[in-house]
């Protein structure tokens, strides 16, 4: 189908762009040249009246805008301005397609924001809050279905001394190196997190002593040079049935391992 949108997509894109610039709703566009300001907007507008997957094209357009430095709020504002332009020209079908694109974009952005809120910004693993939420959920599930989980707690050996002696950049490098090894060792069903400072945790599902031992063996083989860790493991239901008690048992074994390494 070839409609008004497809035949005048360039004009509609220009009109939308000029309106966004005039009202200042997309300030990042002001530092771009004309072609950069238009970008993929004309082809996206044309796609709103075609058989192509407009939501996929909207995602491509949004990614292009973000690569140019536009914030998600600016991308959304640009789409809203385009919606007003389409309304003025009586392009109801294209407007409905655009609305679907806006919903899809908002869902993607809010999902990414929610995921970032669960992640430690330095290492990318789960943060303290998200890891313990996972521990609570998996503990309840294991009790309900008579499953098994292993909680492994880690502490980097001599981290404070390295941080004090060589500086925070070196300390951050060690944290990222250990996180990478931990993540690559975990299975898809497992969870890993940074619990604070140089403390980390791994939650292994349907895991007993043999599985946990194999996990630690693989992890130590992946550790970068200069990275050494102590570990403590507790099992549900053998050692405890509640998350707090499971953490206490793992903590005790962790510090026993740390004392033994320091001896």
User: Is this structure's pTM higher than 0.85?
Assistant: no
Is residue 142 domain-shared with residue 255, that is, in the same domain? yes
pLDDT, position 52 = 59
Judge whether 122 lies within some domain.
Answer: no
Residue 214 counted as domain residue: yes
Do residues 102 and 223 share a domain? no
Residues 9 and 95 in one domain: yes
pLDDT of residue 7 exceeding 60: no
Q: Tell me which residue of 241, 183, 173, 238 sits closest to 215, measured CA to CA.
A: 183
Any domain includes 167: yes
Domain that holds residue 47: 4-117
- Supply the pLDDT for residue 48: 86
How many other CB atoms sit within 10 Å of the CB of residue 8?
18
Residues 107 and 233 in one domain: no
Q: What is the pLDDT of residue 219?
A: 96
Task: Give the span between the Cα atoms of 210 and 198, in whole angstroms.
Answer: 26
Provide the b/e sequence for 107-126 (b: ≥16 CB within 10 Å).
Answer: ebbeeeeeeeeeebeebebb
43 within domain boundaries? yes
Q: Looking at the structure, tell me whether residues 79 and 171 fall in a common domain.
A: no
How much is the mean pLDDT over the chain? Answer: 90
Question: For a pLDDT cut of 90, what percent of the chain falls above it?
Answer: 63
Q: Are residue 109 and residue 80 in the same domain, yes or no? A: yes
pLDDT of residue 238: 94
User: Once rounded to an integer, what is the mean pLDDT over residues 194-219?
Assistant: 95
Q: What is the C-alpha separation between 79 and 26, in angstroms, rounded?
A: 10
Judge whether 161 lies within some domain.
yes
User: Among 52, 84, 117, where does a domain finish?
Assistant: 117
Q: Is the pLDDT of residue 1 over 70?
A: no
Residue 217 domain flag: yes
Asked if 197 and 79 sit in the same domain, the reply is no
Do 25 and 78 lie in one domain? The reply is yes
The answer to whether residue 256 sits within a structural domain is yes
Q: Provide the CATH number for the domain around residue 151.
A: 3.30.70.270
pLDDT digit string (tens) for 122-179? 999 999 999 999 999 999 999 999 999 999 999 999 888 888 888 888 889 999 999 9
Indicate if the pLDDT at residue 2 is higher than 70: no
What does the alpha-carbon distance between residue 235 and residue 34 come to, in Å, rounded to a whole number? 62
Co-location of 184 and 238 in the same domain: yes
Show which residues are catalytic: 198
Cβ(51)–Cβ(1) below 8 Å: yes
How do residues 72-127 score in pLDDT, each as one tens digit? 999 999 999 999 999 999 988 889 889 988 888 888 888 888 888 889 999 999 99
Same domain, 141 and 64: no
Domain shared by 110 and 18, yes or no = yes
User: Which residue, of 70, 91, 117, is where some domain finishes?
Assistant: 117
d(CA 250, CA 164): 27
Write out pLDDT tens, residues 12-28: 999 999 999 999 999 99
Pair 59, 168 in one domain = no
Domain total in the chain: 2
Residue where the block lists tokens 């005048």: 8
**Can you give the three-state secondary structure of the chain, one letter per residue?**
CCCHHHHCHHHHHHHHHHHHHHHCCCHHHHHCCHHHHHCCHHHHHHHCCCCCCHHHHHHHHHHHHHHCCCCHHHHHHHHHHHHHHHHHCCCHHHHHHHHHHHHHHHHHHHHHHHHHHCECCCCCCECHHHHHHHHHHHHHHHHHHCCCEEEEEEEECCHHHHHHHHCHHHHHHHHHHHHHHHHHHCCCCCEEEEEECCEEEEEEECCCHHHHHHHHHHHHHHCCCCCCEEEEEEEECCCCCCHHHHHHHHHHHHHHHHHHHHC
Q: What is the predicted pLDDT for the residue at 263?
A: 72
With respect to residue 123, please indicate whether it lies within any of the assigned structural domains.
Answer: no
Last residue of a domain, one of 73, 92, 117: 117
């Amino acid at each position: 189908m070839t409609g008004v949108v497809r035949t005048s997509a360039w004009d509609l894109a220009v009109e939308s762009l000029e309106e966004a610039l005039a009202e200042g709703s997309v300030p990042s566009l002001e530092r771009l040249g004309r072609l950069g300001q238009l970008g993929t907007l004309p082809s996206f507008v044309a796609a709103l009246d075609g058989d192509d997957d407009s939501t996929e094209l909207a995602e491509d357009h949004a990614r292009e805008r973000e690569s140019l430095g536009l914030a998600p709020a600016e991308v959304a504002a640009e789409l809203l301005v385009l919606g007003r332009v389409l309304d003025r020209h009586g392009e109801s079908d294209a407007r409905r397609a655009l609305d679907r694109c806006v919903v899809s974009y908002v869902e993607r952005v809010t999902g990414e924001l929610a995921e970032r809120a669960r992640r430690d910004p330095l290492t990318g693993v789960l943060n303290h809050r998200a890891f313990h939420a996972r521990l609570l959920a998996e503990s309840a599930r294991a009790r309900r279905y008579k499953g098994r989980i292993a909680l492994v707690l880690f502490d980097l050996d001599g981290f404070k001394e390295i941080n004090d002696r060589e500086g925070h950049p070196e300390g951050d490098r060690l944290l990222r190196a250990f996180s990478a090894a931990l993540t690559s060792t975990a299975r898809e069903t497992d969870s890993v997190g940074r619990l604070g400072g140089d403390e980390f945790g791994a939650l292994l599902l349907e895991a007993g002593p043999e599985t946990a031992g194999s996990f630690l063996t693989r992890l130590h083989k992946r550790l970068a040079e200069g990275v050494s860790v102590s570990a403590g493991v507790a099992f549900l239901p053998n050692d405890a049935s509640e998350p707090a008690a499971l953490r206490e048992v793992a903590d005790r074994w962790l510090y026993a391992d740390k004392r033994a390494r320091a001896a």
